[in-house]
């Protein structure tokens, strides 16, 4: 699925949702490079945006929905000093932004349940064991907590995040870790920001999410690609790049 600056989502962002703001689109096209890497695309767009010496940068998916007008986004941000290292969330949680994710490990229930959930879950559990995946990213809601033990919680920006330019300069040209494949890179960055004790704030602005609008529904391919991202996440934890308060 390829999206260009003239696609329906991009047009909506340009002509309605973010109308009046300076927008840098990074598109995935069939030629010359059909490979899509969300972290890489974000880094490319951020580097280009920094050429204009912005006060703040918004990283947004194109598949978002307008709820509030752009003035409710712009005017609160004008009150922040650009020399502050800060990440800004929306006060109202979205489906896929400005909410908590839980870094968790399996409980005995999680080890038993796949037996009753079919071959696919059994295969995933087998691969988790094979590749030493101890920790996974999951929900903070109570059904999930029945099968996973909470180890760390992080507020992540997901489909929509705001960074003051001083924070971007702090982390350099590769803000996002490009080893991840279209998943977990936002939580990884949010986690690093948290452990570096970066200041966080929120603004009274609402924007909606279209889950899977750009890269498609959560299918089997995405599920097992997530397994690869889990492997890399656990590798970073083992190397101490991502710190756990509880282990």
For residue 1, what pLDDT band results from cuts at 50, 70 and 90? very low
**63 with 139, same domain?**
no
The predicted-structure confidence for 25-34, as pLDDT tens digits, reads as follows 887 655 555 6
- DSSP conformational letter for 46: H
Report the number of distinct structural domains present in the chain.
Answer: 2
Q: Is residue 155 scored above 50 in pLDDT? A: yes
User: What separation in angstroms does the CA of 166 have from each of 2, 128, 198?
Assistant: 33, 38, 11
**137 with 166, same domain?**
no
Q: Terminal CA-to-CA distance of the chain, rounded, Å?
A: 40
**13 with 112, same domain?**
no
Residue 16's H or E segment, with its range, is none
Query: Given this model, what pLDDT does residue 247 score?
Result: 46
Question: In this predicted model, which residue has the larger pLDDT, 91 or 219?
Answer: 91
Residue 203's H or E segment, with its range, is strand 199-203
**181 with 206, same domain?**
yes
What burial class does residue 79 get, using C-beta atoms within 10 Å of its C-beta: 0-12 exposed, 13-18 middle, 19+ buried? exposed
Are 231 and 183 in contact by the 8 Å Cβ rule? The answer is: no
Question: Which residue from 189, 100, 206 is spatially nearest to 153, judged by alpha carbons?
Answer: 100
**142 with 233, same domain?**
yes
**179 with 80, same domain?**
yes
Domain span including residue 208: 1-96+157-215
**72 with 126, same domain?**
no
């Amino acid at each position: 699925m390829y999206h260009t600056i003239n696609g329906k989502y991009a047009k909506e962002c340009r002509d309605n949702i973010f109308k009046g703001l300076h927008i840098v689109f990074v598109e995935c096209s069939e030629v010359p490079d059909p490979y899509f890497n969300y972290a890489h695309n974000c880094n490319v767009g951020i580097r280009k945006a920094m050429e204009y010496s912005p006060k703040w940068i918004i990283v947004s998916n194109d598949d978002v929905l307008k709820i509030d007008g752009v003035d409710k986004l712009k005017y609160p941000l004008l009150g922040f000093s650009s020399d502050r290292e800060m990440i800004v969330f929306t006060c109202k949680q979205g489906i896929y932004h400005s909410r908590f994710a839980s870094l968790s490990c399996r409980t005995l229930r999680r080890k038993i349940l796949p037996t009753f959930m079919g071959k696919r879950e059994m295969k995933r559990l087998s691969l988790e064991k094979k590749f030493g995946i101890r920790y996974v990213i999951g929900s903070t809601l109570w059904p999930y907590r029945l099968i996973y033990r909470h180890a760390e919680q992080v507020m992540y920006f997901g489909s929509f995040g705001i960074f003051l330019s001083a924070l971007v300069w702090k982390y350099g040209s590769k803000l996002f870790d490009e080893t991840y494949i279209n998943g977990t890179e936002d939580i990884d960055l949010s986690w690093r920001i948290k452990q570096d004790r970066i200041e966080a704030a929120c603004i009274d602005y609402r924007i909606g999410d279209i889950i899977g609008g750009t890269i498609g529904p959560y299918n089997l391919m995405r599920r097992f690609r997530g397994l690869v991202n889990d492997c890399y996440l656990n590798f970073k934890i083992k190397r101490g790049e991502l710190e756990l308060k509880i282990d």
